[in-house]
Structures are given as structure tokens and as C-alpha cells.
Amino acid sequence: MKATNTTIRVCMGTGGIAAGGVEVLDAFRKELELAGIKADVKKNCSMHKVGCRGLCAKDVLVDVIIGDKKTTYQFIKSDMVPRIVKEHVVEKNPVREWMVGEDYLAFHEKQFKVVLSDCGSIDPEDISAYIGVKGYEAAKKVMTSMKPGDVIETIKASGLRGRGGAGFPTGAKWEIAGKQDSKQKYLICNADEGDPGAFMDRSVIEGNPHAVIEGMIIGAYAIGADKGYVYIRAEYPLAVERLRKALSDARENGFLGKEILGTKFNFDIKVKLGAGAFVCGEETALIASIEGQRGMPRAKPPFPVYNGLWGKPTVINNVETLANIPYIIRNGDRWFASFGTEKSRGTKVFALTGKIKNSGLIEVPMGISLKEIVYEIGGGIEGDRALKAVQTGGPSGGCIPAAMVDMSVDYESLIKAGSFVGSGGMVVLDETDCMVNIAKFFLEFTQAESCGKCVPCRIGTKRLLEILTRITKGAGKEGDLELLEKLSKDVKAASLCGLGQGAPNPILSTIKYFRHEYEAHLEGRCPSAVCKELLTYYVLEQFCKGCGACLRACPAGAITGEKKKPHFIDSGICIKCGACFDVCKFKAVKKE
């Protein structure tokens, strides 16, 4: 039996592997061999374009491509593979009930892919696959036909701004670095993606590491650097592995090293593993960490472009920023500038997560409305509950309330709303989420991650967290909200680096939009029934079947009752662990 042009793509990013991608890939190899079919079985990043297109919540996603007809399957397990091979690959009848549905198509319709355009369609571990989609052509073009100044002009004209958070114009940064009169300059790729709820950089490196490397080569050429570093989180083992392989393949193919592609340009890249400190995402802290010191930021100016790694001019660009570069060089600055808004050009990758139906990685033109992201791409809220807010920008960002869902998503609009594009995390919160608890969650994070160098951040975040903690425990005092607001403003104004300056944002934005929730806590109620100390558990007699499940689950012995008769929770003994609520099959346990 001969099958012409059959390609199987299995999603193998972190999400795909967690869902059993390795087993599925093996099953395909085995089944195809048994059936005597020659097919091309490929690994693909779980996140992106063709392979999974970002919808890792539906992993393992599998593409079966026969000729030019592509079918995508969702939730595939290895034991489903024999049927797909038999019915689809051999008999040419796709297995309809396992195919992706309309929500999968809707997820992609409003997206526009630049950075992610090759992610997922190519094997990230195969350099020839990247070269096959015009990879490294931009680097060749730059090194053989453009002057460094031309490259900088092109990037400036494209309007590309840093995708790591603050949105500083990339071309302008390169221009300053290019003008520095120094024999030694450095280019650093910041892959220390520490924001909880963000995974764009991980996905780009797992899905298309060569685009990042190519972007670095072009940047280094433009500013005149011969050494580069990728500072990447050790928490991303798969991304590190793929990056290292990509670097060694690029070296073998003559894209890195001495006299690249026969020119006089030398450049090589080293990988530096982060050791688990969020503050190292900050430029000067990152530099200290590469130098082998405690990763503590220092005052700016001087900025790293003047005085950076080992005192030399250093450009630090984010992963996504660098991955944009080859596409801008290949397609032109006008092409790139034609997407997005006037001040925020191009596209942005977001990690859409939380209480959303289609959770995953998305790339959208700047200026799209939040509503389109949540309801069209994201497919709406899980369980069709009501949207409460969208948290953007991680621990330095804020919460956009549901009432503002029509707003445009770009650098300026988000800042105006009291939030931040940040690195691109977008966590959707529904009516069951408590906003005070969310603010406390972020303060726990920033307080623990504060490096302790400057007082406003070290002591300020601690005090802010203490106030939030007492509010969520029902011990809030009159005047606490005003105190939170005042202290927040002080910490913002006086902290040394972005961590402290952004840390109060989750508090300020939730007080601004959800003041009533704070007030309810001060009165001893948690309207969303999240804050443990403010809850009371009781049994709804009309639903209780007297099965005894709660009685057995209660670790405190607070529940009494005879078999087949309604049970009772003694609130004096109850430790509010929620065990009874979890085990009750009849929804007879209520918390308020």
C-alpha cells in the first residue's frame, strides 16, 4: 500500500508532551510501519500555526496531511492512533468525531501571525526546516547588502517596540548602541520570562528557536556586537534543550562563529541559565546575574546601552522582539507598520489563560479589542459564567473590568486603564474570582521576589501584603483602603526598578474598579466566596441525602448526622477547609 505525500504532525511542546505527545508520535511511527506506509512523521511545537495553532488546551493535536488536504484532530491519545491510521491514512476516510470543531476555527480567524507564522508548521529541531521557509535569508541579506545604519533605519521605520514590557522603540535602542565607540559590545536576548501567566517566550523558543537566533545575528550586526547571550529560565527545560541544539546547528551551518557567510562579521551566542529570581528580568539585574553576582538592579542612568555587561555597551532585547526582526527585514518595514495602531505597530503575542474556553497562545494585531480576544478568539468564559475582569501584564499589570471590555489592546490604552501590556500574559477572571484575593496573590509574589535592595520595595510590598492579608481575613480596619492607595503611590514613586514601581498596580487597579469588593471584605463578606476566613459552610437540608461523604471527609469532626438524614456542620468546629464542599455529589453543601 503506497500513500503519496502523507505527513503527520504531532504537537510536542510542553503542553503536547504533558498530554501524551511522545506516546502519540511513537504510536504513529509503529502503526504506519505495520501498515507498510511511508509517511513523514514530524514533531511540531504544540503552540502554533499548523501543528496546534496555540490551542494547547486541546492537546494532543494531530495534523494528518494527505496531498494538499489537511485534517486536524484534537484530544488524541496513543490508543486512538490505530483507528486514524486505518480509516484515514489507509482508507482515506477521516475520523469525523475526533476532528476539531468550529471553536478551533474561530480561535484562528481573528489572529494574525508574524512571530508565530512558522511556529508549529516546522520542526523546531531541524535547521533545514527553518531554511526551507526562507530562514536565515534576512541575515544573509543584511550581511551582504546592507550597512548597519540601513538595518537600524529599517527597524526604526517599522515602528517595532520592545515586546518585553515597557515598549521602548527597538530601532532607537539599536541606534544608540551603534553610536557607542567601543571595541566590545554585547547583545543579550532576555528570555527570563518570569511573569506568572505568561509563556510567549517559551513557546517561541520551543517552536522556532532559529528565528530568535537570526534576529540576534541581525541585531548584533546592526550595533556591532560580536558576543551574544541568551538569558533563559531554567524552569523551561525543553526550550533550553531546543535552543542549545539550534545554536549548535546554526554554528555548523556557518550562521554563527567567525567570518559568517564569508563576510568579516563575527558573532557567537552563549546560553546563560537563570537560577530562579524574577527580578533578573530587569535589565541591570540580568546583567549582574550573567556576571555571576546576586541579581540586584542598579539605578539607571547609565542605561545598559551605554554601560552594560562588564561595563560595555549592551543591548537587551526580548525574545519576541528579536523573533520579529527576520520577518521585518524580509517583508519590509512598511509591511510591518501596516498592522496595528499608529503608536503600537505590528502584532503582539498573548498567553490567553484562566477561565476561558479556548486557552492558549494567540497573536493579534495591536489595537484589537479585548472583547474580540475574549469572546471570539477565546470563545467566551468557561462554563458560560460571567466575565469579571482580564488581568494583563503580570505582577506589574492590572485588572481590566468587564465593563471596559470594548477597549483597544495596545501599549497606550492599557497604561491609561491602569494596566500594562507587559510581556503578554492575559488571565481571564470570572464571577467566582475574588479581586482582593487576586491582588493579594500578586503582592505575595512581588513581596517574595523583591530583591531587598531598596527600602520602598522591600518594606513597602511587605506592608501592602500585610494590609491585604488582614482584609482577606476579615480583620481589615477602617481607613485600610486609603492607606493601601497612599502606600501604593509611594512605593510606585520611590522604588528603584520596575518590580517595585509596578508592584502596586494590581492593588490600585482592583481598588479603582472593584472598590465594592474591598468594602464588602471590610464588612466581613467575600462576595465571590473565595476568602476562607470569611466563609461559612452549611448544609442545604432539602438536597442532603445523608450519604455521609462529607462526614467522612471532614478532618475536624465538625459534621454530624445519621445515615439518610440531613447532616449538620457545626460552624464553631469547622476549619473551613472545603473538604465537604468538594466531596458532596448533590450540591448540598453551600458556602457563603
Partner 1 sequence: MEQILEKILVEYRKSEGNIISLLQDIEDSFGYLSEDAINWFSKKLDIPASRFFGVATFYSQFHFKPRGRNVITACCGTACHVKGSERLINGLRKELNLSEDEDTTKNMEFTLEKVNCVGACSIAPVIIINKQVRGKTTSDKLLKEIKSLKGLKDEGN
- Give the binding site for partner 1 (CB under 8 A): 14-15, 17-19, 55-57, 59, 193-199, 202-203, 234-237, 272-278, 289-296, 351-355, 359-361, 391, 394, 425, 427, 429, 433, 438, 441-442, 445, 449, 451, 555, 577-578, 582
Q: From the CB of 420, what's the least distance to partner 1, in Å?
A: 14
Q: From the CB of 523, what's the least distance to partner 1, in Å?
A: 24
Structure letter (DSSP) for residue 92 = -
Of 391, 460, 449, 388, nearest to 420 by C-alpha is: 391
Q: Which is nearer to partner 1, 198 or 269 (by Cβ)?
A: 198
Q: From the CB of 18, what's the least distance to partner 1, in Å?
A: 4
CA–CA dist 150, 133 (Å, integer)? 24
Q: From the CB of 450, what's the least distance to partner 1, in Å?
A: 12
Q: From the CB of 243, what's the least distance to partner 1, in Å?
A: 14
Element (H or E) spanning 224, and its range?
none
CA–CA dist 533, 546 (Å, integer)? 27
315 pairs with which residues across the strands? 187
Under 8 Å between Cβ of 527 and 517: yes
Q: Which is nearer to partner 1, 336 or 445 (by Cβ)?
A: 445
CA–CA dist 407, 429 (Å, integer)? 17
Q: From the CB of 360, what's the least distance to partner 1, in Å?
A: 5
Q: Which is nearer to partner 1, 293 or 560 (by Cβ)?
A: 293
Q: Which is nearer to partner 1, 158 or 505 (by Cβ)?
A: 505
Query: CB within 8 A of 338, min separation 6: which ones?
Result: none
Q: From the CB of 133, what's the least distance to partner 1, in Å?
A: 25
Q: Which is nearer to partner 1, 185 or 355 (by Cβ)?
A: 355
Cell numbers describing residue 73: 484532530
Q: Which is nearer to partner 1, 429 or 484 (by Cβ)?
A: 429
Cell numbers describing residue 512: 479603582
Under 8 Å between Cβ of 506 and 442: yes
Q: From the CB of 426, what's the least distance to partner 1, in Å?
A: 10
Residue 187, helix vs strand vs coil: strand
Q: From the CB of 353, what's the least distance to partner 1, in Å?
A: 4
Q: Which is nearer to partner 1, 191 or 223 (by Cβ)?
A: 191
CA–CA dist 320, 211 (Å, integer)? 9
For residue 139, the number of C-alpha atoms closer than 13 Å in the C-beta half-sphere is 31
Cell numbers describing residue 138: 534576512
Q: Which amino acid appears at position 89 of this protein?
A: V
Q: From the CB of 199, what's the least distance to partner 1, in Å?
A: 3
Q: Which is nearer to partner 1, 64 or 212 (by Cβ)?
A: 212
The answer, yes or no, to whether the previous bond of 124 is cis (omega within 30 of 0) is no
Cell numbers describing residue 97: 468525531
CA gyration radius, the chain: 26
Q: From the CB of 62, what's the least distance to partner 1, in Å?
A: 17
Q: Which is nearer to partner 1, 171 or 394 (by Cβ)?
A: 394
Q: Which amino acid appears at position 143 of this protein?
A: M
Q: Which is nearer to partner 1, 174 or 229 (by Cβ)?
A: 229
HEC sequence for 435-486: HHHHHHHHHHHHHHHCCCCCHHHHHHHHHHHHHHHHHHCCCCCCCHHHHHHH
Q: Cβ of 211: how many Cβ atoms within 10 Å?
A: 32
Q: From the CB of 308, what's the least distance to partner 1, in Å?
A: 16
Q: From the CB of 92, what's the least distance to partner 1, in Å?
A: 33
Q: Which is nearer to partner 1, 67 or 237 (by Cβ)?
A: 237
Q: From the CB of 361, what's the least distance to partner 1, in Å?
A: 7
Structure letter (DSSP) for residue 431 = T
CA–CA dist 563, 121 (Å, integer)? 59
State the first-to-last Cα distance of the chain, in angstroms, to the nearest integer: 64
Q: Which is nearer to partner 1, 105 or 493 (by Cβ)?
A: 105
- At residue 366, what are phi and psi to the nearest 5 degrees? -55, 145
The answer, yes or no, to whether the previous bond of 60 is cis (omega within 30 of 0) is yes
Q: Which is nearer to partner 1, 18 or 475 (by Cβ)?
A: 18
Residue 398, helix vs strand vs coil: strand
Under 8 Å between Cβ of 361 and 49: no
169 pairs with which residues across the strands? 161
Q: Which is nearer to partner 1, 139 or 574 (by Cβ)?
A: 574
Element (H or E) spanning 103, and its range?
helix 102-109
CA–CA dist 508, 468 (Å, integer)? 12
Q: From the CB of 197, what's the least distance to partner 1, in Å?
A: 4
Q: Which is nearer to partner 1, 156 or 532 (by Cβ)?
A: 532
Give just the sign of the alpha carbon dihedral 314, 320, 323, 329: negative
